[in-house]
Chains A and B, each alone.
Chain A
Amino acid sequence: MVGIIDVGVGNIQSIKNWLDRCIVNWEIIDNSKSLENYSLLILPGVGSAKLFVERLHTSGFFLKLIKAHSSGQRILGICLGAQVFMDHLEEGGGVDGFGFIKGTVTKLPLKDSNTGWLPFSFDRRILSYNWYNNSKSSSRKIKLSGRVFYNHNYGLLLSDSSAFNQDIDSATLSTFSSIIHKENVFGFQFHPEKSQELGETLLKMLL
């Protein structure tokens, strides 16, 4: 069973639809529920970093997710949900994240946001032992390529040599990460749930 963490912001409905399309059992986790017994926790994120982290604290999810992380439970972050895995997020005056992966989240060197489709490739062999060992993947695919949908103003700048990092496939944004992964934590800067067929295959490869 996949658990979707609901802090009151974020496009939960799109995540539910994404999991339904991949025929995955899911459950919405509100702050009254325990995070145990889920094979994968999904942390979706939309909105401003400060409000999002504030909601994680007030709902009690911040401490629960730290506990889940240290117990080895797999956590998948999407967009802002992946950004909070880092040490610090600069947006809105700055706020500290979980620090699961060393690095910061900084403003992109663009006048506007990075909104649109960019090329993407994925090789399942980059998955850590911890992730892979708990995997119940419904796809036998090893490699995947296509395009994914981005919509963000701030980007992931990794400084963790022990983490896997895949850069955004764009000349101007190649210092920022598209994927971050370390042990039982995996983050996408883009929106796999809105990346059409590729997003569905990607989920099947990760489960």
Chain B
Amino acid sequence: MRLGSVILFKNGYCYQSYGWNLFRPLGNLQNIINHLDKYLIDDITIIRPVREDDSKTCFLRDIKELRQVKSSTPISFGGGIRNVNQLNLLTDLPFERFVFSSILFNNNNELIDSASKLFGKQAIVGLIPFKISPDLSVFNSQINKFVSIDQLKNLEFCDEIILYDCKHEGFHSGFSKDIVERMNLDPQNCIFSGGVVNLVNSIKKSSVLPKALCIENAVLHREFSKSNYYEKL
């Protein structure tokens, strides 16, 4: 099982987010990546936490900075990739995989086909931000609203799916493993994120084993450097 890190990146800065609404600035993207490289973390997922307010200018500005990223660790990137024009701007990024969320709520087959052709199916990762309180709902970033899971589509196009627990984001524990059963997903196809720090310590005893765990901003958790966490996994 892999142990990765999620980095939230917007307007040139990285953030730690708590409970899907409070942003704490962490600093420069390259500095954060340098630390994670040093920790020998398995992979890094960079997410632009954009909602319906995203603009072309913001997207281009972020892409320009992302193009300069230097890292020897595999990187996935997503957030605000909503049409083929935006997709074509990603071909020279130093990243291997691309994360899509809005695509899971609409029938943009052109975007799915183009992504598969340009990057290969192995490069397509789905992102499902969710909360269980007590009903399960998923976040559609394009309309900035939690909606019913019935509205999810196109999961079959994703090579892996990041299940991002918004309620427990930024906290050490609380990830709702129930989601796997409720959505009838194969955990071996899923990446758990949001309140998974303590899960790393007990994963060997867990009945639900995901393909990977992604700690939100693992840069704040030096204890998850390679030398420390491998014996736990």
A109 at the interface (CB under 8 A from B): no
Nearest-CB distance from A203 to chain B (Å)? 11
> B72 — which chain A residues lie within 8 A by C-beta?
17-18, 21, 193-197, 199-200
In the bound complex, do residue A13 and residue B96 qualify as a contact, i.e. CB atoms below 8 Å apart? no
The stretch of A93-101, A124-132, A147-155 in contact with B is A147-155
A113 at the interface (CB under 8 A from B): yes
A149 to B123, CA, bound (A): 13
Binary per-residue interface labels of chain A (140-174) against chain B in the complex, 1 for a CB within 8 Å, 0 otherwise: 00000000010111000000000000000000000
B18 at the interface (CB under 8 A from A): no
In the bound complex, do residue A51 and residue B118 qualify as a contact, i.e. CB atoms below 8 Å apart? yes
Q: Which residue of B lies closest to A21 (CB)?
A: B72
The residue that B71 contacts in the complex, of A17, A46, A48, A111, with Cβ under 8 A, is A17
> A56 — which chain B residues lie within 8 A by C-beta?
none
A86 at the interface (CB under 8 A from B): no
In the bound complex, do residue B189 and residue A112 qualify as a contact, i.e. CB atoms below 8 Å apart? yes
A34 at the interface (CB under 8 A from B): no
In the bound complex, do residue B118 and residue A151 qualify as a contact, i.e. CB atoms below 8 Å apart? no
Sorting the interface of chain B by its residue count into under 10, 10 to 19, 20 to 34 or 35 or more gives 20 to 34
B37 at the interface (CB under 8 A from A): yes
> A116 — which chain B residues lie within 8 A by C-beta?
2, 42, 211-212
> B96 — which chain A residues lie within 8 A by C-beta?
11, 14, 46, 151, 191, 194
Binary per-residue interface labels of chain A (44-83) against chain B in the complex, 1 for a CB within 8 Å, 0 otherwise: 0011101100000000000000000000000000001000
Apart from the given pairs A14-B95, A193-B72, 20 other A-B contacts in the complex at a CB distance below 8 Å: A8-B91, A17-B71, A46-B120, A46-B123, A48-B117, A48-B118, A112-B159, A112-B160, A113-B121, A115-B211, A116-B42, A116-B211, A117-B42, A151-B74, A152-B120, A194-B72, A194-B73, A196-B40, A199-B72, A200-B72
Residues of chain A touching chain B, judged by Cβ–Cβ distance below 8 Å, are: 8-9, 11-14, 16-18, 20-21, 46-48, 50-51, 80, 111-113, 115-117, 149, 151-153, 191, 193-197, 199-200
Residues of chain B touching chain A, judged by Cβ–Cβ distance below 8 Å, are: 2, 37, 40, 42-43, 67, 70-75, 91-97, 116-123, 159-160, 186, 189, 211-212
The 8 closest A-B pairs by CB, nearest first: A113-B122, A13-B94, A14-B94, A194-B74, A196-B72, A153-B122, A17-B70, A48-B117
